[in-house]
């Protein structure tokens, strides 16, 4: 494989509903798309999953653009590699910035799958035929609104509910959902809003039979999560903390988590995502696929990733229509009334790009050769 051309573009897409986490509100996404092309003119697409601001992790769109243009693209362009699995090491000298590097890496995998004429999920080694879908529900202004959104998601077939929590919107919110929906698989995601000083408060969540609590403590603190897991019954799931397979190995060894949320961008693409998946599988730790409010390309990549065998828990990858009035793939990503997303049968992403839509949303572009 040899990449001859890389096209960066930034699109801007308003969310149907704003999304609030413990680190802030998002009304509109700005997303960097990466298109790679080889000498035969074959193309592959990737999506950079970082946020608009460096609040989830250190990455954001403007930095991603610079990393791609000034560091990642020059190392990938015209490099002769055996396969897409050899792309990630080309940019390994860059510390961090995994979402930027991962967007490019994923595009190369997509190109390779397309050239082989097989679906991306199969190309990365996926064996599942569908993935169960859950929803991630942001912090709401009232418990009534939260309950209405949960009820609607369950009516749509989604298999588990995740609610975002933060100090001041935690025990009461979880209690309200649990009281109204006693049997629903339910979990909470704190996005690092707590510290070990909140141990007692977090222990109170044990009363609600949550399937897990996601990333309660600092984004970079595996040790404190291990400490916390000793004093709460609810399984801890790590998100932000796991950027490499090595982190997964260390977190598992320390007892810092019993479940791992794998995000393709956060770990830098498919090569590392597969390694995280392997480490977890070898240790009996189930995984699920997280989301970053992706547009259709990133969503399709997430679906491909979710077909690996150890993705046994419902993920955050939901239907396009929960986020967008019109996605950048057509037809859009859909979830069955049973809450499943089927493995697509077409080559590569398995979802056709809506080029007209992408063009209309583009606000910045650059071609690198
Ligand atoms: O922590 O999982 C998270 C969205 C943005 C940043 C971080 C997270 C999320 C979500 C939404 O939970 C998942 C999605 O619906 O794409
Ligand atoms: Mg999370």
Q: Rounded distance, CA 35 to CA 248, Å?
A: 30
Nearest ligand to the CA atom of 293: 1
Q: 360 and 325, same structural domain?
A: no
Evaluate whether residue 14 is within a structural domain. yes
User: Which atom number of ligand 1 is nearest to the Cα of residue 162?
Assistant: 12
Instruction: Give the atom of ligand 1 at the shortest distance from the alpha carbon of 215.
Output: 1
- For atom 9 of ligand 1, the residue with the nearest CA is 292
My answer on whether omega of the bond before 331 falls inside 30° of 0, hence cis, is yes
Confidence band for 368, pLDDT divided at 50, 70 and 90: very high
pLDDT, mean of residues 51-77:
98
Protein residue with least CA distance to atom 6, ligand 1: 292
Q: What is the CA(54)–ligand 2 centre distance, in A?
A: 15
In a domain, 131, yes or no: yes
One domain for residues 263 and 362:
no
What is the length of the chain? Answer: 369
Taking the centre of ligand 1 as the mean of its atom positions, its distance from the CA of residue 328, in whole angstroms, is 19
Query: Are residue 304 and residue 331 in the same domain, yes or no?
Result: yes
76 and 34 within one domain? yes
With left for phi above 0 and alpha for psi between -120 and 50, is residue 188 left, alpha or beta?
beta
Q: Ligand 1 pocket check: which of 24, 131, 138, 293 to mutate, most ligand atoms within 8 Å of Cβ?
A: 293
CATH number at residue 364: 3.30.390.10
Q: Say how far apart CA 261 and CA 248 lie, in whole Å.
A: 10
Residues 170 and 276 in one domain: yes
Q: Do 111 and 258 fall within a single domain?
A: no
Residue 13 confidence (pLDDT)? 98
* 61 and 159 part of one domain: no
Q: Is 273 a domain residue?
A: yes
Range of the domain at 72: 3-117+352-368
Quick one: average pLDDT of 46-68? 98
234-261 pLDDT, tens digit per residue, is: 999 999 999 999 999 999 999 999 999 9
Judgement on whether residues 240 and 278 belong to the same structural domain of the protein: yes
Nearest bound ligand to CA 265?
1
Give the count of beta carbons closer than 10 Å to the beta carbon of residue 218: 17
Token representation of residue 9: 């573009």
The predicted model gives 270-280 an average pLDDT of 98
For the chain, give the mean pLDDT. Answer: 98
Tokens for 273, please give them. 């995502």
Residue at 20 is within a domain: yes
Q: Does residue 267 form part of some domain?
A: yes
Q: Is residue 221 part of a domain?
A: yes
**Is residue 105 domain-shared with residue 219, that is, in the same domain?**
no
Give the whole-angstrom CA distance, residue 369 versus residue 359: 21
The percentage of the chain sitting over the pLDDT mark of 70, rounded to a whole number, equals: 100
Among the atoms of ligand 1, which is closest to the Cα of residue 191? 1
- The dihedral through the CA atoms of 239, 215, 162, 33 has a sign that is negative
pLDDT band at 366 (very low <50, low <70, confident <90, very high): very high
Residues 112 and 179 both lie in one domain: no
Sign of CA dihedral 18, 358, 319, 116: negative
CA distances from 270 to 75, 92, 200, 221 (A): 18, 14, 38, 24
- Residue pLDDT, tens place only, 303-359: 999 999 999 999 999 999 999 999 999 999 999 999 999 999 999 999 999 999 999
Output the CA 291–ligand 2 centroid distance in Å. Answer: 8
CATH code for the domain of 336: 3.20.20.120
- Looking at the domain assignment, is residue 262 inside a domain? yes
Query: Does residue 347 lie in a domain region?
Result: no
Instruction: Encode pLDDT of 120-166 as tens digits.
Output: 999 999 999 999 999 999 999 999 999 999 999 999 999 999 999 99
Query: Catalytic residue positions?
Result: 164, 263
Which residues neighbour 165 within 8 Å (Cβ) at sequence distance 6 or greater?
22, 139, 173, 174, 188, 189, 190, 193
- Is residue 28 helix, strand or coil? strand
Place of tokens 């709401």: 140
Tell me what pLDDT residue 172 has.
97
Q: What is the pLDDT of residue 36?
A: 98
**pLDDT tens for residues 157-180?**
999 999 999 999 999 999 999 999
Q: Where does the pLDDT of residue 302 fall: very low under 50, low under 70, confident under 90, or very high at 90 and above? A: very high
Same domain, 93 and 146: no
**Same domain flag for 94 and 147:** no
Residues 6+ apart with CB under 8 A from 152: none
- The closest ligand to the CA of 19 turns out to be 1
Lining residues, ligand 1, CB within 6 Å: 21, 56, 136, 189, 191, 239, 290-293, 316, 318
Atom of ligand 1 minimally distant from the CA of 189: 1
Q: How far apart are CA 216 and CA 138, in angstroms?
A: 15
The predicted structure's pLDDT at residue 21: 97
pLDDT band at 198 (very low <50, low <70, confident <90, very high): very high
Domain count, the chain: 2
């Amino acid at each position: 494989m040899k990449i001859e051309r890389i096209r960066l573009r930034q699109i801007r897409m308003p969310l149907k509903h704003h999304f609030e986490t413990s680190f802030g509100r998002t009304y509109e996404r700005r997303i960097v798309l990466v298109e790679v092309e080889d000498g035969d003119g074959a193309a592959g697409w990737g999506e950079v999953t970082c946020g608009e601001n460096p609040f989830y992790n250190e990455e954001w769109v403007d930095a991603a653009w610079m990393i791609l243009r000034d560091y990642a693209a020059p190392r990938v362009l015209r490099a002769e590699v055996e396969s897409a699995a050899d792309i990630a090491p080309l940019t390994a000298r860059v510390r961090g910035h995994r979402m930027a590097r991962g967007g490019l890496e994923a595009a190369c995998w997509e190109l390779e799958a397309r050239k082989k004429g097989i679906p991306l999920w199969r190309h990365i080694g996926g064996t599942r035929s569908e993935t169960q879908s859950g929803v991630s529900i942001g912090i709401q202004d009232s418990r009534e609104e939260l309950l209405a959104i949960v009820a609607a998601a369950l009516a749509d077939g989604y298999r588990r509910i995740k609610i975002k929590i933060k100090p001041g919107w935690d025990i009461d919110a979880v209690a309200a959902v649990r009281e109204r929906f006693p049997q629903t698989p339910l979990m909470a995601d704190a996005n690092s809003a707590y510290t070990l000083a909140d141990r007692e408060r977090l222990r109170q969540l044990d009363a609600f039979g949550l399937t897990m609590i996601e990333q309660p403590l600092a984004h970079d603190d595996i040790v404190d999560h291990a400490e916390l897991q000793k004093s709460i019954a609810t399984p801890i799931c790590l998100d932000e903390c796991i950027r490499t397979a090595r982190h997964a190995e260390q977190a598992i060894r320390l007892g810092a988590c019993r479940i791992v949320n794998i995000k393709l961008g956060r770990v830098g693409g498919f090569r590392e995502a597969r390694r995280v998946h392997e480490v977890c599988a070898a240790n009996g730790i189930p995984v699920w696929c997280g989301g970053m409010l992706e547009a259709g390309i990133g969503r399709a990549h997430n679906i491909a990733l979710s077909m690996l065998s150890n993705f046994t828990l419902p993920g955050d990858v939901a239907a396009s229509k929960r986020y967008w009035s019109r996605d950048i793939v057509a037809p859009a990503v859909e979830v069955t009334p049973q809450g499943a997303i089927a493995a697509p049968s077409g080559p590569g992403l398995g979802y056709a790009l809506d080029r007209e839509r992408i063009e209309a949303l583009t606000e910045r572009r650059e071609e690198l050769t």
